[in-house]
Amino acid sequence: MAKVKTTFFCQNCGAQYAKWQGQCSSCKEWNTLVEEIVQKEDKKGWKTTDTSSKRTAKPLKIKEIDGSQEMRMSSGGMEFDRVLGGGIVPGSVILLGGEPGIGKSTLLLQIALHLPFKTLYVSGEESQKQIKMRAERIFPDSEQCYILTETKTQNIYKQIEGIEPDILIIDSIQTLHTDYIESSAGSISQIRECTSELIKFAKETGTPVILIGHITKDGHIAGPKILEHMVDTVLQFEGDRNHVYRILRSLKNRFGSTAELGIYEMLGKGLREVSNPSEILISKTEEDLSGTAIAATLEGMRPLMIEVQALVSTAVYGTPQRTTTGYNVKRLNMLLAVLEKRAGFRLGAKDVFLNITGGISIDEPAIDMAVVAAILSSNEDIAIEKDICFAAEIGLAGEIRPVQRVEQRILEAEKLGFSTIFVSKLNKIAIKNPKINIRKVSKIEDVVGYLF
Ligand code: TYD
Ligand code: MG
């Protein structure tokens, strides 16, 4: 019997060691080394033809390189294409991460069903029947989508040779295992090996591969960090599971900007693309309610109008409570301190609750002025008119600071029918004949003077 070769892998960063040690010397985490069996045989992973011996790469001048093959395949979904930078690049490997139950399988199955190409959807998590049930809800008459339940990569390649799909989707990389490594599915060495086989397949055949990846409890994609380096694009699907909105972000993209963002709504019949997110994020109540203000924010390259709700009440317990949903509580405390010290509002003995509607979270400083306006509106119990919005950061001295790309925010507010937008006096604005009233302010007191 051949000698079994084992190696110790750090479950955090994927570093390899010949011997066990308490601390990983690469990422400095303790107790993360786990022994895994690795067997080095001559590998038969994905192989079409062995071109490596015939073809050796030659350096070319940038002008000489043929740039014409970079044709992108449209996924049939505007939001998905936008996040990828204009469609799927042939031969690229995309990794989609997200919390359990957020809708990763739903998103990719939906894309697979709508694609105008031959697609192979490989699932190691659900049976063909279960997938069929889901597909029936989403888009029952797809012609070109093949479903396979398999976890062994060698069997998947056998099927690929028969079907010759234009796109391969794997749900999920953690369930795959290759014959050439002994350790169990989901272990670091299996994930690394299966991914590198799939990358080889993608690059040799020009077939794009989309992988689903599980994430760990602190939000990173499970498996070695090197996984994220190996693939071309890393996408993250996120959102609050209690809400219907989901956001698709790109964390890394070799073929486009990472600033783009896709928004979806989870319905009974799958995910719906939300092409005008500002409309859904502003609740449409008829009456004027105190404690709400609208912020003109930017998520990536996209302007987004977001409603901020605040509730200020007298503290029942000795220590006042400060609770936020979708907003950093430290930032809220800072803004409250500024209001107390610079604008003379006595909020120290009050409970303050803050909520960003729609279940999304925002950490852009441009939301500051809307937060302050919502707090003051609740504190004074005076509603802010519905057609007013805000886009400015607040500094520690109570000064109103400019925000980036203010013109884009103003134009979005104008398009959505707002009559007034508050911005910092220091922002330079070159919009000719704006229909919206642009109020430039430099101190919190100025805003208070206008509003109440
Ligand atoms: P799923 O795609 O299985 O999540 P993941 O693969 O990320 O673990 O689906 C998650 C949830 O989506 C599930 O709890 C039910 C819900 N869902 C809908 O609301 N409508 C639908 O049409 C589908 C298919 C799922
Ligand atoms: Mg799933």
Q: Report pLDDT digits (tens) over 247-269.
A: 898 889 998 888 778 889 888 88
pTM of the predicted model over 0.80: no
What residue's CA is closest to ligand 1, atom 1?
Answer: 103
Closest-lying ligand 1 atom to the alpha carbon of residue 100: 8
Distance of CA 132 to CAs 77, 122, 123, 184, 267, Å?
21, 13, 12, 28, 18
Q: Which positions make up the binding site?
A: 98-105
Maximum mean pLDDT: which of 179-188, 243-252, 377-386: 377-386
The alpha carbon of residue 249 and the mean position of all alpha carbons in its chain are separated, in whole angstroms, by 3
What residue's CA is closest to ligand 1, atom 16?
Answer: 103
Q: Find the 123 Cα to ligand 2 centroid distance in Å.
A: 9
Q: Please, how many CA atoms are within 13 Å of residue 196, restricted to the half-sphere of its CB?
A: 12
Residue 177 tokens read as 């295992």
What contacts 336, CB < 8 A, 6 or more positions away?
A: 322, 347, 348, 352, 375
pLDDT above 90 covers a percentage of the chain that reads 44
Higher pLDDT, 142 or 218: 142
Q: Are strands 388-391 and 261-267 parallel, antiparallel or unpaired?
A: unpaired
Distance of CA 316 to CAs 312, 319, 321, 349, Å?
12, 8, 9, 9
Residue 423 tokens read as 């911005």
CA distance 326 to 333: 14
pLDDT at 70: 65
Q: Which positions make up the binding site for ATP?
A: 98-105
Q: Please, how many CA atoms are within 13 Å of residue 102, restricted to the half-sphere of its CB?
A: 21
Closest-lying ligand 1 atom to the alpha carbon of residue 212: 6
pLDDT at 53: 47
CA distance 145 to 126: 16
pLDDT at 335: 94
Is 398:342 a contact under the CB 8 Å cutoff?
Answer: yes
Q: Find the 173 Cα to ligand 1 centroid distance in Å.
A: 18
Domain residue extents for the chain: 1-40, 73-275, 282-451
Going by pLDDT thresholds of 50, 70 and 90, the confidence category of residue 431 is: confident
Residue 341 tokens read as 């010290």
- The answer to whether the CB of 134 is under 6 A from ligand 1 is yes
Q: What ipTM describes this predicted complex? A: 0.95
Q: What is the mean pLDDT of residues 390-411?
A: 93
Is 238:244 a contact under the CB 8 Å cutoff?
Answer: no
pLDDT at 340: 92
Q: 282-451 in CATH: which number?
A: 3.30.230.10
Q: 73-275 in CATH: which number?
A: 3.40.50.300
The per-residue pLDDT for range 181-230, each reduced to its tens digit, is 777 888 888 888 899 999 999 998 989 999 999 887 777 777 777 788 89
Least Cα distance to 145 among 176, 179, 110 occurs for 110
Residue 403's CB is within 10 A of a number of other CB atoms, namely: 23
DSSP state string for 60-118: --TTTS--TT-PPBP-S-HHHHHHHTSSBPTT-EEEEEE-TTSSHHHHHHHHHHH-SS-
Ligand 1: which of 221, 266, 269, 273 to mutate, most ligand atoms within 8 Å of CB?
A: 266
What contacts 184, CB < 8 A, 6 or more positions away?
A: 177, 190
What contacts 242, CB < 8 A, 6 or more positions away?
A: 359
Residue 242 tokens read as 């209690």
Least Cα distance to 375 among 302, 444, 281 occurs for 444
- The answer to whether the CB of 137 is under 6 A from ligand 1 is yes
Answer whether residue 37 shows pLDDT above 80.
no
Q: Find the 289 Cα to ligand 2 centroid distance in Å.
A: 40
